[in-house]
Amino acid sequence: MEKQTPTEYLDDKQWSPLWEHFLSRATLFEPSTIHEISCILPLPGRTGVLVFAESNIYFSPTTALKTLYHFSSFHSFSDYHVLASSLKQLGQFGKYKMPWVCPFFTLFPLTKKDKSIWINPLKISKLVDDSENTYAQMSNGLCLLMPIGRRPVLKRAEMACLILATIRRGVFHYVLQGETPVDFLYLPATPFAKTLSNRTCLQSFRTAIGQINRLYQITYSLHHCEPLIYDAQEIHRIDWI
């Protein structure tokens, strides 16, 4: 592949006319109007992020994590920090750069969570390389410069998909049938999805049905209730105790 020019892709480290173009089209982030996020991109050198859905663009004046918290809270999805803590406790899904996951889609960070691109692995159409860089071609036509190489992108994408499939199996096992993680992913007909479908990581589950979900509930209860146990003033303010 020939080397691309900055007019053809978004680089989260460098402002360009393409950033200006998308920012001018963006509307204020409103979680009630979004069903699935394709990616969240921090604005280079500026405050805020662009949130790309399949056919719309939104601007959020906060960080990617705060934007995800807002989205999760509105839709009653899992608390990211509690879920990440639960996944780390299980020891089957790594310890760093944990994905954000709900039962319907997932986003994984490419670098440090507070300043990272967050990307939906099933919205990546394909990864392409030139002599120096790796790019993600998205299903909505967007092209993103990856701050990391092809292998780590693929590794983090497949882990995010494994967790998504595991959570789906735990939530929907009465209505969805399947034996492997791939059975629960509904992979699109794209080159990247085909690559994912053949990855060893997605051929078998690592935990029992519902194990993540149960541990999340326990961790969530401890996370929110433990401070009350040690704070008498807070307890007295709660009228149901």
Per-residue confidence at 217, pLDDT binned at 50, 70, 90?
confident
Whether 229 has a pLDDT exceeding 80, the answer reads no
Whether 1 has a pLDDT exceeding 90, the answer reads no
Higher local confidence (pLDDT), 25 or 218: 25
- What are the residue ranges spanned by the domains of the chain? 17-236
Per-residue confidence at 115, pLDDT binned at 50, 70, 90?
confident
pLDDT, tens only, 44-56: 999 999 999 988 9
Which strands form 49-52's sheet, in the order they lie side by side?
27-28, 57-60, 49-52, 39-42, 118-119, 106-109, 100-101
pLDDT (mean) for 25-31: 96
Confidence (pLDDT) at 131: 81
C-alpha pair distances (Å), 90 with each of 96, 152, 160, 161, 188: 13, 22, 15, 17, 29
3 state DSSP class of 201? helix
Whether 238 has a pLDDT exceeding 70, the answer reads no
82-112: burial string, b at 16+ Cβ within 10 Å, e else:
bbbbbbeeeebbeeebbbbbbeebbbbbbee
Inter-axis angle of helices 80-90 and 211-229, nearest 10: 120
Confidence (pLDDT) at 235: 46
Whether 76 has a pLDDT exceeding 80, the answer reads yes
pLDDT (mean) for 151-178: 93
Higher local confidence (pLDDT), 114 or 168: 168
Lowest mean pLDDT among 22-36, 155-169, 227-241: 227-241
Confidence (pLDDT) at 233: 53
